Amino acid sequence: MLLLQLHSLPPSLHFTPFTTTTTTTRRIRFGFRNYVRNNSSQLNDTCKVNRAYPFHEIEPKWQHFWDQNGTFRTPDDDDLDRSKPKFYVLDMFPYPSGAGLHVGHPLGYTATDIIARYKRMKGYNVLHPMGWDAFGLPAEQYAIQTGTHPNLTTLTNINRFRSQLKSLGFSYDWDREISTIDPQYYKWTQWIFLQLLKRGLAYQAEVPVNWCPALGTVLANEEVIDGVSERGGHPVIRKPMRQWMLKITAYADRLLEDLDDLDWPESVKDMQRNWIGRSEGAEMDFFVLDSDGKERDIRITVYTTRPDTIFGATYLVVAPEHLLLPSLVSTAQRKHVEDYIDLSSRKSDLERTELQKEKTGVFTGCYAKNSANGEAIPIWVADYVLGSYGTGAIMAVPAHDSRDYEFALKYDVPVRWIMMSDDKSINNSGKAFPGEGVIINSSNSLVELDINGLSSKEARLKVIEWAEKSGNGKRKVNYKLRDWLFARQRYWGEPIPVVFLDESGETVPLLETELPLILPELDDFSPSGTGEPPLSKAVSWVKTTDSVSGRPATRETNTMPQWAGSCWYYLRFMDPKNSKELVDNRKERYWGPVDVYVGGAEHAVLHLLYARFWHKVLYDIGVVSTKEPFQCVINQGIILGEVQYMAYRDQDGNLISADATDMLYEHNLLRVPEEKVIKSGDSFVLKENPDIRLVIRAHKMSKSRGNVVNPDDVVSEYGADSLRLYEMFMGPLRDSKTWSTSGIEGVYRFLGRTWRLIVGSPLSDGTFKDRTVSVDEEPTVEQLRCLHRCIAKVTEEIEGTRFNTGISAMMEFLNAAYKWDKHPRSVIEAFVLLLSPYAPHIAEELWSRLGHTESLAYESFPKANPEYLKESTVVLPVQINGKTRGTIEVEETCTEEDAFILASRDEKLSKYLDGQSVKKVIYVPAKILNVVLDRKNIKVGVQ
């Protein structure tokens, strides 16, 4: 039996155990007081390393405190105050690889943590969990290579990931941690499959798949690149196999319509719309002809969105996997067609449909009748048509489809123009015209069809009406979306809970009481070599009996794909320990849907679409109360490796400028150290030879490029708060950014300055005072204005997920605060609370040193007072003897005396006032200052 081993928390650091208090806040207060009392001298004893501030002591201290006190534990139902609003913020949970985290991973995690901490301080009940998407091919491949059971490597990887995430201070509720490999989790994944099966949404079919012999498994289209597997680069072929399918197409319209109400990036919604690909058109029938030109009892049905162009159809194309193809091929062409089918089987769907690639095909030797004009047109087989889309066959109209036009020119197929554009230059361009226009050359009195002179739209309706009346076709709505291939020939996945009766082959679902169906132990996880999944080797597990009839049966040996467990995990976080149902209705109604879901744009279609499909099924059967799982989705950008400076070399090894010639090749690039580079205008050049312009570039972090930055190293040198702050300061969350070590040094200095402003400079032995240098005095109006402008900006930017500009506002506040003679406690405390979602460790420590005996995690987030946000200065015109000579900037409440002093000090105005006798001053506050001079003393030439 494979069991997920739960992690153990770090040992207690002199914490007094909790009493039987019921609320989270009281538990945290109690633990905080004991912790501070028992550890008050720990920092001063060890803080003698020359650092900007003692992060190396602060961060472990507070991480242990949060862990031991359950600071971020979301209350269970009994303790939950339902009068408070809820906020569910979620990361797309990670696949725990052996490489651990790199600095690109925490980008989204830091963003969600800032939001979670902010919402707690705003009075929300916050659900902020973490778990592991732990089944999948990488762990299985590693197990095959090393002979280590994937359960062991996966648990090791999980422990490493968890440790790294905790070291960054993320406020996850670790009591809710889940993993897809836990049988108590995948029990409910199997339960969902049974519900799909019960409703006819899961079925078996013989379908063409991407089969990788080396990996011994079926691969999804996105796992195949240029005909080889993304993992390992092994050849992939197309072959028909019995597969489990999920009928996602039954939900196509709902998946499309409900996108409109979601707060998602428009680019993601457009990707899903395009993936679903709803189109309206018609299915048209073409009868196959024999060698004598007579109709055979075989018809090819095509789907077209442009039935108005039927008179321009000069050939048909069927996909290489079309079921009718064997009956269409002539004897003379059979060998050519078979070779072509074999070649096509080695291409992915993406390769076959790429627009820029040259189209290929083979004539079948057979013809079909175009029912609109009665002409015999050739039937070709070409791999740019997919058997999985529409009917697997198209009518080709080369004059009005660019793809068909290229094909027709290549293979000398007739091109017939049946539509004119209002733009005459298009009609005479000699290129395909795929747009809308007026129909020509489209009439046949024998079949009573005439669409000449009609617009494209009118013609479409008339052709469909004719086709339905004559029996040659029908109106049809079609989708690009295909049913979800749900089986993998792998070991490391969820077992599918069905058996097949040995006598009849009948499929029998397991009873719900038999779940979970546990994945059996195997020593040999390698592919069988026969196409049979590795699970077929577990003979004693495979051979079983049907629990209802008692008859001999065989278990399904395919497993579910990795996507399965990630389709519904957000629901389990709401109720992770429920052994009786997937999720409690009351908890789901409170927490659902997810308010903010953050993850990479690479999951824009498949994961998000599959999760939406399962959610809608669960909605239909009453398990969930919302139509959609994720109200708001945010795609964070990626972090690229550090900028590389590259110089080109000629054949003799001499450096040449990047703009010197077009004959520059990648293999002639040489990396140049940053210290040898200077910027010149918009370019970078060699210091020693500025005529050599360099190429600058940055790549996505990967082990193969050697540009991975380990967050453990960054935390060790600069601290977790610096890493968190820097990743948010690099630029807008949704943009891609380039890592820079000098950049993190900047935010590290900011935190050091914050520490010194509040705690003071270090003592002679390198330690710091236990308290702070803040004073118990009322702040000045200017100090309050500075603070409340910062509060308003930070609040606005967190709400808008513009974290970088929120940090800038805090930096501006700090610069201003360093100019003050005194630092009132009330102002400093508010600033520490503003900083806490971004840099929680240093904030907690400063809060403690400010004299507080409670964690700041649930303190109220500061609110900006509008009174201090009003513009407090005005531009005051200054007149000398009634003539305006300049302006000065003054406070609205500025007195006449102060205004006159400011005018006297102004460089432009002082020349009119120096040494002069003032007869009278006329001052209208915030309006004007008029200085009337004694004319007896006015210097010659001044006026």
* DSSP result, 531-575: S--GGGG-HHHHEEE-TTT--EEEE---B--THHHHTSHHHHTTS
Query: Can you tell me the distance from the alpha carbon of 589 to that of 508, in angstroms, rounded to the nearest whole number?
Result: 34
pLDDT at residue number 263: 96
Q: Strand, coil or helix: what is 526?
A: coil
Asked if residue 75 has a cis previous peptide bond (ω within 30° of 0), the answer is: no
**Mean pLDDT, rounded, for 646-674:** 74
Tens of pLDDT along 816-858?
999 999 999 999 999 999 999 999 999 999 999 999 999 999 9
Query: Can you tell me the distance from the alpha carbon of 916 to that of 882, in angstroms, rounded to the nearest whole number?
Result: 16
Q: What angle do CA 780, 782, 787 make, to 5 degrees?
A: 95
- Range 873-933 has CATH code 3.10.20.590: yes
Query: Can you tell me the distance from the alpha carbon of 63 to that of 308, in angstroms, rounded to the nearest whole number?
Result: 68
Q: Strand, coil or helix: what is 508?
A: strand
More confident residue, 178 or 664: 178
**Mean pLDDT, rounded, for 327-350:** 89
Query: Can you tell me the distance from the alpha carbon of 851 to that of 449, in angstroms, rounded to the nearest whole number?
Result: 90
Task: Give the pairing of strands 677-680 and 683-686.
Answer: antiparallel
Q: Residue 876: left if φ>0, alpha if ψ -120 to 50, beta else—which one?
A: beta
Amino acid at 159: N
Q: Record the tokens describing residue 446, joined without a space.
A: 């024998």
Residues 6+ apart with CB under 8 A from 542: 535, 536, 554, 555, 557
- Report the percent of the chain where pLDDT is more than 90: 64
**Mean pLDDT, rounded, for 897-921:** 88
**Mean pLDDT, rounded, for 158-185:** 97
Tens of pLDDT along 403-459?
999 999 999 999 999 999 888 777 677 789 999 999 999 999 999 999 999 999 999
The DSSP line for 104-118 is TTHHHHHHHHHHHHH
- pLDDT band, very low/low/confident/very high, at 48 (cuts 50, 70, 90): very low
- Asked whether residue 652 carries a pLDDT value surpassing 90, the answer given is no
The DSSP line for 219-235 is E-GGGEETTEETTT--B
- pLDDT band, very low/low/confident/very high, at 28 (cuts 50, 70, 90): very low
Q: Which of 109-123, 389-403, 484-498, 684-698 has the highest mean pLDDT?
A: 109-123
CATH no. for 711-868:
1.10.730.10
Kindly state the DSSP code that residue 695 receives in the 8-state scheme.
E
Query: Can you tell me the distance from the alpha carbon of 581 to that of 616, in angstroms, rounded to the nearest whole number?
Result: 18
Query: Can you tell me the distance from the alpha carbon of 391 to that of 488, in angstroms, rounded to the nearest whole number?
Result: 26
- pLDDT band, very low/low/confident/very high, at 694 (cuts 50, 70, 90): confident
Which H/E stretch holds residue 615? Answer: helix 606-620
CATH no. for 191-274+483-562:
3.40.50.620
Tens of pLDDT along 774-793?
999 999 988 999 999 999 99
pLDDT at residue number 355: 63
Query: Can you tell me the distance from the alpha carbon of 320 to that of 497, in angstroms, rounded to the nearest whole number?
Result: 34
Lowest pLDDT segment from 118-122, 597-601, 910-914: 910-914
- pLDDT band, very low/low/confident/very high, at 937 (cuts 50, 70, 90): low
Which H/E stretch holds residue 749? Answer: helix 741-759
- Asked whether residue 45 carries a pLDDT value surpassing 70, the answer given is no
**Mean pLDDT, rounded, for 471-487:** 92
More confident residue, 23 or 262: 262
pLDDT at residue number 365: 96
Query: Can you tell me the distance from the alpha carbon of 905 to that of 782, in angstroms, rounded to the nearest whole number?
Result: 22
Amino acid at 916: Q
Residues 6+ apart with CB under 8 A from 562: 95, 133, 135, 136, 137, 488, 493
pLDDT at residue number 706: 67
- Report the percent of the chain where pLDDT is more than 70: 91
pTM: 0.82
- Asked whether residue 574 carries a pLDDT value surpassing 90, the answer given is yes
Domain boundaries, the chain: 191-274+483-562, 278-479, 644-697, 711-868, 873-933
**Mean pLDDT, rounded, for 345-350:** 74
Torsional sign, CA 782, 785, 788, 792:
negative
Lowest pLDDT segment from 42-46, 78-82, 238-242, 708-712: 42-46
Query: Can you tell me the distance from the alpha carbon of 94 to that of 239, in angstroms, rounded to the nearest whole number?
Result: 32
CA end-to-end span of the chain = 100
Beta bridge partners of 376: 369
- pLDDT band, very low/low/confident/very high, at 697 (cuts 50, 70, 90): confident
**Mean pLDDT, rounded, for 919-931:** 92
CATH fold of the domain at 278-479: Isoleucyl-tRNA Synthetase; domain 2 (3.90.740)
- pLDDT band, very low/low/confident/very high, at 642 (cuts 50, 70, 90): confident
Residues 6+ apart with CB under 8 A from 610: 248, 484, 563, 567
Amino acid at 340: Y
More confident residue, 639 or 222: 639
Tens of pLDDT along 195-215?
999 999 999 998 878 888 888
| Residues 498 and 510: beta-carbon distance below 8 Å | yes
Q: Which of 225-239, 557-571, 889-903 has the highest mean pLDDT?
A: 557-571
Q: Please count the other Cβ atoms lying within 10 Å of the Cβ belonging to residue 546.
A: 17
pLDDT at residue number 14: 31
Q: Label residue 691 exposed, middle or buried (CB < 10 Å: 0-12, 13-18, 19+).
A: exposed
